[in-house]
Amino acid sequence: MALSDRPAERHRQVAGLFSDRVHGTRSWDAPSPVAGWTARDVVRHLAEWFPGFLVSGAGVELPSGPSVDENPVAAWQVHCDGVQAVLDDPETAHRELTNPHIGSLPLAAAIDRFYTTDVFMHTWDLARATGQDDRLDPDFCARLLGQMEQMEQVIRSSGQFGARVEVPGGADTQTKLLGFIGRDPFWSGR
């Protein structure tokens, strides 16, 4: 299924796939492809960094759920539903997010660019950590890779991505994207 270009619908699709991987997780302590992180830490990252980004940039507060340590499934669901509610709110069309590093953007576009894409890429981390289907939408992989390659120096200097991992020349787009963001596409926790 191709991902929508509308931020609310794309989030619904991307977060839905991540939610499927959350519900399919059997061991929250399984190591993930992100060095030093477990499956639980992948969920923690998404549920904990974004609320502060929204509050500081747009004055939007997401509902609080249980901690990721207490119940990662419920923590994710409350968080995910909160983000979706913001995107589905008709007032979001009139709001902006302002951040000293990115300037001002329409709120839905900021969520889509910085958060939904993060969920998309971390879906692979959670799936790989927990032995689930780790395939990502190839067209969206290609789009993200094309955008990120144009700003590689900025991305690398941000500290948000690891060093590029070299992949075979004939690799598919998902493998290339994973290598670009610093993941070993052939990582296995075993």
In CATH, what number is assigned to the domain containing residue 119? 1.20.120.450
Assign 3-state DSSP to the chain and report helix, strand, coil percentages, each to 5: 60, 5, 35
Could you list the residue range(s) of the whole structural domain that residue 146 is in? 137-185
CA 96 to each of CA 2, 10, 44, 45, 178: distance values in angstroms, whole numbers, following the listed order: 27, 19, 26, 23, 30
CB-CB contact of 87 with 7 (8 Å): yes
pLDDT for res 162: 81
The partner residues of 104 in beta bridges, in order of sequence, read: 98
Which residue ranges of the chain lie beneath pLDDT 50?
none
Q: Are residues 62 and 101 in the same domain?
A: yes
- C-beta separation of 172 from 140 below 8 A: no
pLDDT at 7: 97
Q: What does the pLDDT read at residue 1? A: 65
Number of domains in the chain: 2
User: Hey, what's the torsion of the CAs at 111, 162, 145, 155, to 10 degrees?
Assistant: 60
Rg of the chain over CA atoms, in angstroms? 16
pLDDT at 72: 98
Do 109 and 150 have their domain in common? no
pLDDT at 67: 97
Q: What is the pLDDT of residues 86-140, one digit of tens each?
A: 999 999 999 999 998 888 999 999 999 999 999 999 999 999 999 999 999 999 9
Do 167 and 127 fall into the same domain?
Answer: no
Q: Which of 136, 134, 135 is nearest to 144 (CA)?
A: 136
pLDDT the model gives residue 190? 64
Rounded to 5 degrees, φ, ψ at 54 are: -70, -45
pTM here?
0.94
Q: Is the dihedral of CA 71, 160, 17, 56 positive or negative?
A: positive
- Closest by CA to 33, choosing from 131, 126, 159, 138, is 126
Is 1 contained in some domain? no
Give the pLDDT confidence score for residue 157 in this predicted structure.
78
